[in-house]
Chain A
Amino acid sequence: GENVEQHPSTLSVQEGDSAVIKCTYSDSASNYFPWYKQELGKGPQLIIDIRSNVGEKKDQRIAVTLNKTAKHFSLHITETQPEDSAVYFCAAPPNRDSNYQLIWGAGTKLIIKP
């Protein structure tokens, strides 16, 4: 079945700098890769996603890149701000016969230092 690994577990960056979080997946048939942000006391919320027919997608300060050959995808946040502090999860779709909604990475706690 699909397996998703996420690194690093914690990332601390200076405000204004860039942050990059990486995930690898195991199933070459996977075709959809979302990123979720979880703020304290809230459920995860989708911030950006990418499908396997494109290599990069941007939305203002956030971008996701996908390397299908290497089976990894990354979240890039530029010009980080205090409100970017949160836990970020990558995910990938489960196998067809699975009951799973998504296969989740372990999460990255992003800390933005003022």
Chain B
Amino acid sequence: SAVISQKPSRDICQRGTSLTIQCQVDSQVTMMFWYRQQPGQSLTLIATANQGSEATYESGFVIDKFPISRPNLTFSTLTVSNMSPEDSSIYLCSVDVGDTEAFFGQGTRLTVV
């Protein structure tokens, strides 16, 4: 199993500012995944982060808006840059343990005003 600590759990931010979300895992993992979950919706993959290489972004998400760091095998950050109200959402980090089970942090509930 894996225990993921994600910070902050929630924040209210002014438009135009940036927020960095941290994700700490209690074991070394190869890949970390960042998701966005809009209210009442499913999980949308933002990007996949491997240690030592640039993150791979999914369609509709770009590095300038969502820069990701992955300095080691237990930690990653996602920054939401130049925020607008449309960025209000829950952001989740996740890892795989073994071939199958996905473990998630508790999420960061972001409100942009």
Chain A residues at the B interface, C-beta cutoff of 8 Å: 32, 34, 36, 41-46, 49, 89, 99-102, 104-107, 109
Interface residues on B, range: 20 to 34
Q: Which residues of A contact B6 (CB under 8 A)?
A: 43
- A42 lies within 8 A of B107 (CB): yes
Chain B residues at the A interface, C-beta cutoff of 8 Å: 4, 6, 9, 31, 33, 40-43, 45, 48, 56, 58, 92, 94, 96, 100-107, 109
Q: Which residues of B contact A99 (CB under 8 A)?
A: 45, 48, 56, 58
> How many inter-chain contacts with C-beta < 8 Å in the A-B complex?
54
Chain B contact residues, majority secondary structure: strand
Chain A contact residues, majority secondary structure: loop
- A44 lies within 8 A of B43 (CB): yes
Q: Which residues of B contact A102 (CB under 8 A)?
A: 102
The docked-state distance in angstroms from the alpha carbon of A99 to that of B104 is: 17
* Distance (whole angstroms) from the CB of B51 to the closest CB of chain A: 15
The docked-state distance in angstroms from the alpha carbon of A17 to that of B103 is: 30
